[in-house]
């Protein structure tokens, strides 16, 4: 300590222009002044290393202690069993399963329909001879007489009135069933009566088509039995690409949805429509967001038919070899509790809208994961994030340190000269 004090005194008493002591000043005082600056710059460099997001270790460590909208975040490794559970619980019910194929409903009479009724009698009786317009059907043995009655509208009670028959139920009956009823009630009144019933105007059997179609319309059903694609064609077709459209059918309390592309490819889903069905054609531009150490950071659209993780990785041009951590691929999702394992669901805290924040972790270092990725579904509004590899962060830190200290070292060299 005494020697150091002596040195300091000598520095103070000597003239600043003494060249013999200037090197000591450079080696001692300058170095002492540079040390805290160096430490501060190093700490600043550590805090300012650029990054596209949290590291894989930070996600796994911090996510379970973090809450989103009051719900804890679950971190789940993507495996074959997890993927199978998601697919099994999120499978859409088909039109054939939910609605059934049905039958040609256009031939079933409803309230407000208008019917044309013609009654035929064998000679010599002529019960309806003066009841309306009469026509004759002549054969080699006899002449049958047919009478066309005035058009009959099915009333609000679902009934029609036929002379000499009275009021009969028409609502929910086919024209053939109504004709059979008329003929049976005329037995004993007319000679070998036969009735022909034809639907003239359909007021009850209609389907409403709305949504992203060329023209919203109320399409009548006929005895042909119109199906989903028939009615869609009657409305002028869709206005957006087929692979981005979803068809929703509302029948009473039942609601079923399928991608339009699925209905086109699978004839079993092109079901018969029923009266009062509402068919809504929805344009749904699904998308997911890709971030991190990947070839393309962007919002990526995909088709209503769905997208797998393998396809998603292909659309973002894969991982960046120089940055990405192949063990740190994550899918952030607000998941439906029904798709989660019972044990996970039992401990999960849901958001107010009934979802569970889930982070699915994917290890692309495992070759088996690539088979699982071909089935693991990407959902609308998912966030796909790839973290930086630890060595990439170290390399960036070294680059920051190098870029920080190079000007300092250059300045120090200049001062020595």
Domains of the chain from N-terminus onward = 56-90+286-394 (3.10.560.10), 95-102+205-283 (3.10.560.10), 109-201 (3.30.1950.10)
List the beta bridge partners of residue 134.
147
Given this model, what pLDDT does residue 140 score? 43
CB count, 10 Å around CB of 326? 17
Tell me the DSSP string of 195-262. Answer: EEEEEEE-SS-EEEEEESBSS-EEEEP-TT--BHHHHHHHTT-BSS-GGGEEEEEEETTEEEEEEHHH
Given this model, what pLDDT does residue 416 score? 63
CB 282 within 8 A of CB 238: no
CB 240 within 8 A of CB 212: yes
Please give the structure tokens belonging to residue 257.
């949805």
Comparing CA positions, the residue from 253, 21, 3 lying closest to residue 12 is 21
Burial of residue 344 (CB within 10 Å: 0-12, 13-18, 19+) is: middle
Please give the structure tokens belonging to residue 401.
């340190």
Given this model, what pLDDT does residue 265 score? 92
CB 153 within 8 A of CB 183: no
Given this model, what pLDDT does residue 225 score? 85
CB 299 within 8 A of CB 287: yes
Which residue stretches of 14-109 are H helix? 22-47, 56-62, 80-89, 95-98
List the beta bridge partners of residue 331.
360, 384
Given this model, what pLDDT does residue 100 score? 85
81: Cα separation from own chain's centroid: 23
Tens place of pLDDT per residue across the chain (417 aa): 444 443 333 434 444 444 444 444 445 554 455 545 555 555 554 555 555 667 777 787 776 666 565 567 888 999 999 999 888 887 777 888 888 877 776 678 888 889 999 998 887 656 765 444 555 444 444 556 678 888 989 998 999 999 889 999 999 888 999 999 999 998 888 888 889 999 888 877 889 999 999 999 899 888 788 999 999 999 999 999 898 899 999 998 999 999 999 999 999 999 999 888 999 999 988 899 999 989 889 999 998 888 999 999 999 989 988 888 999 999 999 988 888 877 777 777 788 888 888 999 999 999 999 999 999 999 999 999 999 887 645 555 455 554 655 565 566 566 566
DSSP at 318? -
CB count, 10 Å around CB of 33? 10
Given this model, what pLDDT does residue 191 score? 82
Given this model, what pLDDT does residue 266 score? 92
Q: What are the angstrom distances between the C-alpha of 43 and each of 49, 150, 241, 388, 411?
A: 10, 98, 54, 21, 20
Please give the structure tokens belonging to residue 86.
């998601």
* CA separation for the pair 394, 45 (Å, rounded): 11
Tell me the DSSP string of 359-379. Answer: EEEE-TTSTHHHHHHTTPEE-
């Amino acid at each position: 300590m005494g020697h150091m004090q002596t040195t300091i005194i000598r520095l103070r008493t000597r003239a600043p222009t003494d060249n013999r002591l200037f090197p000591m000043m450079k080696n001692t005082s300058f170095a002492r002044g540079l040390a805290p600056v160096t430490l501060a710059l190093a700490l600043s460099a550590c805090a300012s290393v650029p990054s596209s997001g949290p590291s894989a270790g930070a996600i796994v460590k911090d996510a379970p202690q973090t809450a989103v909208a009051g719900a804890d975040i679950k971190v789940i490794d993507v495996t074959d069993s997890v993927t199978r559970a998601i697919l099994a619980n999120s499978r859409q019910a088909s039109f054939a399963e939910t609605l059934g194929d049905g039958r040609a409903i256009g031939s079933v009479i409803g309230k407000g329909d208008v019917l044309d009724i013609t009654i035929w009698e064998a000679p010599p009786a002529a019960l309806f001879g003066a009841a309306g317009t009469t026509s004759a059907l002549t054969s080699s043995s006899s002449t049958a007489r047919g009478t066309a009655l005035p058009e009959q509208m099915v009333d609000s009670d679902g009934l029609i009135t036929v002379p000499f028959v009275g009021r009969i139920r028409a609502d929910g009956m086919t024209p053939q069933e109504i004709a059979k009823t008329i003929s049976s009630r005329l037995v004993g009144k007319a000679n070998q009566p036969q009735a022909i019933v034809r639907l003239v105007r359909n007021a009850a059997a209609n389907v409403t088509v709305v949504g992203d179609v060329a023209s919203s319309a109320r399409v009548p059903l006929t005895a042909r039995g119109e199906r989903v694609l028939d009615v869609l064609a009657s409305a002028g077709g869709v206005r957006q690409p087929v692979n981005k459209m979803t068809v929703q059918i509302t029948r009473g309390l039942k609601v079923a949805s399928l991608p339009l592309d699925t209905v086109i490819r699978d004839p079993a889903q092109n079901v018969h429509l029923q009266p009062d069905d509402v068919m809504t054609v929805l344009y749904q531009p699904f998308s997911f967001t890709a971030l991190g150490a990947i070839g393309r950071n962007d919002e990526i659209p995909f088709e209503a038919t769905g997208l797998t993780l393998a396809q998603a990785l292909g659309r973002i041009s894969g991982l960046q070899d120089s940055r990405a951590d192949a063990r740190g691929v994550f899918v952030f999702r607000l998941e439906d509790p029904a798709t989660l394992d019972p044990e996970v669901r039992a401990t999960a805290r849901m958001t107010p809208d009934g979802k569970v924040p889930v982070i699915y972790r994917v290890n692309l270092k495992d070759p088996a994961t690539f088979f699982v990725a071909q089935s693991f579904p990407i959902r609308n509004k998912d966030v796909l994030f790839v973290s930086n590899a630890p060595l990439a962060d170290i390399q960036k830190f070294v680059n920051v340190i190098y870029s920080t200290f190079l000007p300092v070292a250059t300045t120090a060299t200049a001062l020595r000269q």
